[in-house]
């Protein structure tokens, strides 16, 4: 029977890794993700897993070791955050370009400078085009469930791409919530055996991996990589439904919350979705037609899902927990705009930057956003971007 326990997101990441029992974990600690690999390394020391744990000297080396391990055909996991993810930058592209199904727990944290150890999404948004599938978590339960599903997604023969599963730093990584943890054997049956892949250690059947690839074939190989990402659009909801059929918690690209008859809505990712749902409930009690779309999967970007979910909404506020600085908005806003470009029904859109560096997001902040969206509905006048909760 599943157990109901009180855990942080870091703890459930480590617990999921233990249940998966990977062949290799290579990692370097970084706040606020340190606990993930620290707890897992204790599992290794205690003999609770058969994993080869590689303690490296940097995050760049961690991903390099993961690439080498995965190229040998073995199941490989890791974890990092913020500057560590940025330090992996070169290797992230190599992992995806070589079609290696590495799964990584990423604890979202602001990128320096100034130095900050708290949550925003600037780290994973900076890596949004490196060829990794990206799954965001609203709460501790989703952090656990998403990580288990990520292994199936990454290793599927039609995808074969790395996956990063995110959780918000300190907000989820260090805060306790009640979570349902599955039995070890149940997890292993859901995950299944590591699918057989070619191994660079198979000397009887040698092959080239990561060779120089110039004008003659580079384009074709990148096209194949893009096709793998496209294939994941079909696979992700299937894995989410299978998970739901087995364990009662269903997952898709996004979650629509009271959108059916909504005139006003916001789009949001991560832990703030929970706060926003409370505000939606309050406004609904006042008779206001509001709703919310929580985006769970950012890469691949589910444009058709977004378009269908928002086609009947009149005004939409996009909540960005990262700032592109040199663009007209945060990174989520242009993706939503592009998704709606061909729609016959285009809602008015406005972008809100919020919560940078761990700035607290209160219900009053979300209420202010909805208030402004109602004003836009009334006047028909909108604007591109506004910062919420900052001292201007």
Q: At what angle do helices 184-191 and 140-155 cross, to 10 degrees?
A: 40
Q: What is the pLDDT of residues 25-73, one digit of tens each?
A: 999 999 999 999 999 999 999 999 999 999 999 999 999 999 999 999 9
**Alpha-carbon dihedral sign for residues 237, 238, 241, 246:** negative
pTM as predicted: 0.98
Q: At what angle do helices 9-20 and 184-191 cross, to 10 degrees?
A: 70
pLDDT at 384 over 90: no
- The pLDDT score that the predictor gives to residue 327 is 84
The model's confidence at residue 81, banded by pLDDT at 50, 70 and 90, is very high
| Structure tokens that stand for 346 in this block | 């285009």
Peptide bond into 113 cis (omega under 30): yes
Contact 63, 28 (CB under 8 A): no
- The pLDDT score that the predictor gives to residue 97 is 97
Strand partners of residue 354: 388
Work out the mean pLDDT of the chain and round it to a whole number.
97
- The pLDDT score that the predictor gives to residue 293 is 98
Closest CA to 225 of 130, 109, 84: 130
- The pLDDT score that the predictor gives to residue 1 is 87
- The pLDDT score that the predictor gives to residue 34 is 98
With pLDDT > 90 as the criterion, what percentage of the chain qualifies?
96
- The pLDDT score that the predictor gives to residue 211 is 87
Question: Could you tell me which residues come within 8 angstroms of residue 248 by beta carbon, excluding any fewer than 6 positions away?
Answer: none
Closest CA to 274 of 106, 141, 382: 141
Q: What is the pLDDT of residues 347-380, one digit of tens each?
A: 999 999 999 999 999 999 999 999 999 999 999 9
- The pLDDT score that the predictor gives to residue 326 is 80
The Cα 41–Cα 53 span in angstroms is 7
Ordered structural domains, the chain, with CATH: 3-247 (3.40.50.970), 254-388 (3.40.50.920)
pLDDT at 236 over 90: yes
Segment 125-137 mean pLDDT: 98
| Structure tokens that stand for 187 in this block | 């997890």
Fill in the DSSP letter of residue 182: -
- The pLDDT score that the predictor gives to residue 362 is 97
- The pLDDT score that the predictor gives to residue 392 is 84
Fill in the DSSP letter of residue 185: H
Q: What is the pLDDT of residues 286-318, one digit of tens each?
A: 999 999 999 999 999 999 999 999 999 999 999
The model's confidence at residue 204, banded by pLDDT at 50, 70 and 90, is very high
Segment 199-217 mean pLDDT: 92
The model's confidence at residue 248, banded by pLDDT at 50, 70 and 90, is very high
- The pLDDT score that the predictor gives to residue 237 is 98
- The pLDDT score that the predictor gives to residue 170 is 98
Q: What is the pLDDT of residues 90-108, one digit of tens each?
A: 999 999 999 999 999 999 9
Burial class for 185, CB neighbours closer than 10 Å (0-12, 13-18, 19+): exposed
Could you write out the DSSP letters of every residue in 313-372? -SEEEEEESS--SSSSS-SHHHHHHHHHTT-SS--EEEEEEE-GGG----HHHHHHHHHH
pLDDT at 213 over 90: yes
Q: Distance between alpha carbon 83 and the CA centroid of its chain, in Å?
A: 17
- The pLDDT score that the predictor gives to residue 36 is 98
- The pLDDT score that the predictor gives to residue 9 is 98
| Structure tokens that stand for 166 in this block | 């995110």
- What is the maximum alpha-carbon separation in the chain? 72
- The pLDDT score that the predictor gives to residue 79 is 98
């Amino acid at each position: 029977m599943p157990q109901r326990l009180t855990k942080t997101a870091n703890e459930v990441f480590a617990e999921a890794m233990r249940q998966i029992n990977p062949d290799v974990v290579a990692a370097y600690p970084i706040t606020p993700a340190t606990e993930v690999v620290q707890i897992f390394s204790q599992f290794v020391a205690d003999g609770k897993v058969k994993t080869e744990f590689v303690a490296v000297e940097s995050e760049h080396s961690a991903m390099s070791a993961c690439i080498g391990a995965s190229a040998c055909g073995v199941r490989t996991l890791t974890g990092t955050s913020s500057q560590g993810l940025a330090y992996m930058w070169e290797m992230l592209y190599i992992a995806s370009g070589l079609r290696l199904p590495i799964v990584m727990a990423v604890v979202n944290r602001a990128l320096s400078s100034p130095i900050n150890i708290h949550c925003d999404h600037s780290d994973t948004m900076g890596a949004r085009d490196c060829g990794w599938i990206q799954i965001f978590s609203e709460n501790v339960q989703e952090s656990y469930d998403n990580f288990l599903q990520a292994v199936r997604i990454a290793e599927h023969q039609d995808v074969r791409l790395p996956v990063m599963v995110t959780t918000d730093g300190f907000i989820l990584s260090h805060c306790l919530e009640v979570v349902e943890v599955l039995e070890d054997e149940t997890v292993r049956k859901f995950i299944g055996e590591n699918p057989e892949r070619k191994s660079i250690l198979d000397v009887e059947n040698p092959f080239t991996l990561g060779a120089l690839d110039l004008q003659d074939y580079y384009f074709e190989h990148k096209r194949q990589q893009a096709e793998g990402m496209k294939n994941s659009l079909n696979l992700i909801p299937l894995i989410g439904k299978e998970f739901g059929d087995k364990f009662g918690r269903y997952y898709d690209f996004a979650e629509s919350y009271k959108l059916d008859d909504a005139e006003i809505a916001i789009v949001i990712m991560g832990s703030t979705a929970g706060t926003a749902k409370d505000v939606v409930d309050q406004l609904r009690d006042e008779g206001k037609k509001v709703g919310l779309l929580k985006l769970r999967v950012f890469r691949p970007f589910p444009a058709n899902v977004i378009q269908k979910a928002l086609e009947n909404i009149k005004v939409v506020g996009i909540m960005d927990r990262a700032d592109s600085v040199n663009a007209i908005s945060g990174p989520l806003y242009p993706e939503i705009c592009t998704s709606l470009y061909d729609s016959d029904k285009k809602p008015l859109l406005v972008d809100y930057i919020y919560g940078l560096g761990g700035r607290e997001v209160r219900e009053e902040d979300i209420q202010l956003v909805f208030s402004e969206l109602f004003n836009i509905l009334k006047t028909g006048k909108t604007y591109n971007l506004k910062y919420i909760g900052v001292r201007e």
